[in-house]
Amino acid sequence: MAKLRAFTMPKWGIEMTEGVVAEWMVEEGKPFRKGDLIALIETDKITNEVQAEYDGMFPRLIAVTGETYPVGELIAVLAEPGDAPDPAEVDAFVAGFRPANASTASRSGKGAAPSDAKAPAAPSPQSSAPASSGGARIPADANISPVARSFAEEHGVAIAGIVGSGRGGRITYQDVLQASRPPAPAGGSDPVDITPIGNALGEIFASPLAKRLAAQHGVDLSAVSGTGPRGRICKADVLARVAPAAPEASSPAAVALHFEPPAAGTSEVVKMSPMRKAIARALSHSKSTIPHFYLRSRVRIDGILGLRAQAKAATGEAPSVNDYVVRACALALARHPDVNVQVHGDEIHRFARADIAVAVATDKGLITPIVRGADHLSVAAISREIKLLAEKARQGRLSPEEFQGGSFSVSNLGMFGIDQFDAIINPPQGAILAVGAGTRQPIEIGHALAFATIAELSLSCDHRAIDGAVGAQFMQTLKQLIEEPALLIG
């Protein structure tokens, strides 16, 4: 059996990654002596003459002249000068050849680098309470900072599962705080576009904010001169160029009124706060991806008003109309579990409990704290809970589990005199009820004309999970519960 060896693309110098066989200087099968020129190999710097290091013969030449091969790849098979190896043997050798590991100088960072432990997988969106060990004491020799220890003990946070980020695996306050909070909501958003504005080569020397403003206002940066550091174009330079609104041309036949166009339209630029951005992002996504449909119903709220009056007379205070509506929704959801859902991609998550989000307007924006288990709370309890949550919301003190999750929202703009409106679903919830103002309206009772206090309800449903008939049945039940509020008790 012939002794075959591999002749591979050599590596000359630290940077070489590939080469081209410019010419084979010997023929297949012809023996050569040590020192003979056997090949010319080109790299991007020079053409090298390859001399035989010992006597030999190439039973097979593999590399095609002019083609590029990576360093370490098999370009010919070498044998002893007198050998006559079987072609099958040579085939087997070629087939069995494995190049040595190429250099890990990877430019894109792909492949060669071993991955780190993966980041924790996106947790399920259940609004479950954080892990609690029920106040177990932490051993005295645990590797944990004093503040972390006292926080963990006070809040009953189990530290067994925590990987400490401090030196030597020491558990820090930050680690314990993170462990004490419910998991972050699932990402799983659609891909985003990350093309930067103004990334052309020979780019304009302008600050990032200036570029964004220019794009927003249609200012041509190449015409702007910069007054920022090192002559960079800055925000002020761009805003100075924002064109004032053109005045309307007056028609010649019009009376010669002297019409002053509005003062130069430099807008006041208010940067979106993180909260505003979050709202913008969530609702844009909702409106554009969720197939909304709307079920409208007019309900008589005289019954509720009557109950309110009674409560007021009895205790001096009364729940709001909305509190009754929330209770009614909770009971209706309990009876129509197909509406008490969250939608996640291909999955519909049905809930046994009614966790209803109530819209609260704060000066930072709309926030929706959640009344958990509203189907088990009396109207009075719901009322107290909503008051508490609203206060916290206005002070910015809501914790994540107090406003994330839930399957249903109630939004009431009645106090602003709105008759009717349609709300945008808060994903991942399946539906949202918009409640308008109660107004006195003429109705037919028996065959006579009478007045009743009517509120217009609009239920927005996610058609991916809730069909028209399902939603309609829910609305029927809701209407009944609202119009006969005695049913709300219990």
Partner 1 sequence: MATKMIRDVIVETIDAEMARDPDVIMLGEDIVGGNGSAGGPEAIGGIWSTSTGLWAKYGPDRVIDTPISESAIIGAAAGASLSGKRAIAEIMFADFIGVCLDQIWNQVAKFRYMFGGKSRCPVTIRMIYGAGFNAAAQHSQAIHGMVTAMPGLKVVMPATPADAKGLLTAAIRDDDPVIFLEHKALYATKGDVPEGEYVLPFGHARQVTQGDDVTILATGLMVSFAEAAARNLAEEGIGCDLIDLRTTSPLDEEAILDSVERTGRLLIVDESPPRCGLATDLAALVASKAFASLRAPVEMVTGPHSPIPFARELEAAWLPSRDKIEAAALRLMSYRG
* Cβ count near 486 (within 10 Å): 10
Minimal distance, residue 159 CB to partner 1, in Å: 17
Peptide bond just before 114 cis, omega within 30 deg: no
Nearer to partner 1, 117 or 140 (CB): 117
Taking a C-beta distance cutoff of 8 angstroms, is the pair 489, 314 a contact?
no
Minimal distance, residue 200 CB to partner 1, in Å: 10
Nearer to partner 1, 28 or 347 (CB): 347
Compute the chain's Rg from CA coordinates. Answer: 37
Minimal distance, residue 72 CB to partner 1, in Å: 12
Interface positions with partner 1 (CB under 8 A): 14-15, 17, 44-45, 101, 103-110, 112-120, 122, 174, 178, 181-184, 187-199, 201-203, 205, 207-209, 211, 229-232, 271, 274, 277, 281, 400
| Cα–Cα distance for residue pair 344/342, rounded to 1 Å | 7
- Say what the alpha-carbon torsion angle 372, 373, 379, 383 is, to the nearest 10 degrees: -10
Point out which residues pair with 449 in neighbouring strands.
444
The answer to whether 336 is a known catalytic residue is no
| Cα–Cα distance for residue pair 154/158, rounded to 1 Å | 11
Provide φ and ψ at 436, rounded to 5°: -100, -175
Taking a C-beta distance cutoff of 8 angstroms, is the pair 21, 76 a contact?
no
Nearer to partner 1, 96 or 196 (CB): 196
Taking a C-beta distance cutoff of 8 angstroms, is the pair 393, 367 a contact?
yes
Point out which residues pair with 458 in neighbouring strands.
296, 434
Nearer to partner 1, 226 or 471 (CB): 226
Separation of first and last alpha carbons in the chain: 94
| Cα–Cα distance for residue pair 386/391, rounded to 1 Å | 8
Residue 294: which of 483, 480, 468, 476 has the closest Cα?
468
Would you say how long the chain is, in residues?
490
Nearer to partner 1, 226 or 414 (CB): 226
Nearer to partner 1, 3 or 107 (CB): 107
Provide φ and ψ at 411, rounded to 5°: -125, 125
Nearer to partner 1, 191 or 446 (CB): 191
Minimal distance, residue 394 CB to partner 1, in Å: 20
Minimal distance, residue 466 CB to partner 1, in Å: 25
E strand or H helix at 77: strand 74-79
| Helix, strand, coil percentages, rounded to 5, for the chain | 30, 20, 50
Minimal distance, residue 103 CB to partner 1, in Å: 6
DSSP reduced 3-state for 441: strand
Token digits of residue 344: 């996640």
Minimal distance, residue 26 CB to partner 1, in Å: 26
Catalytic residues: 463
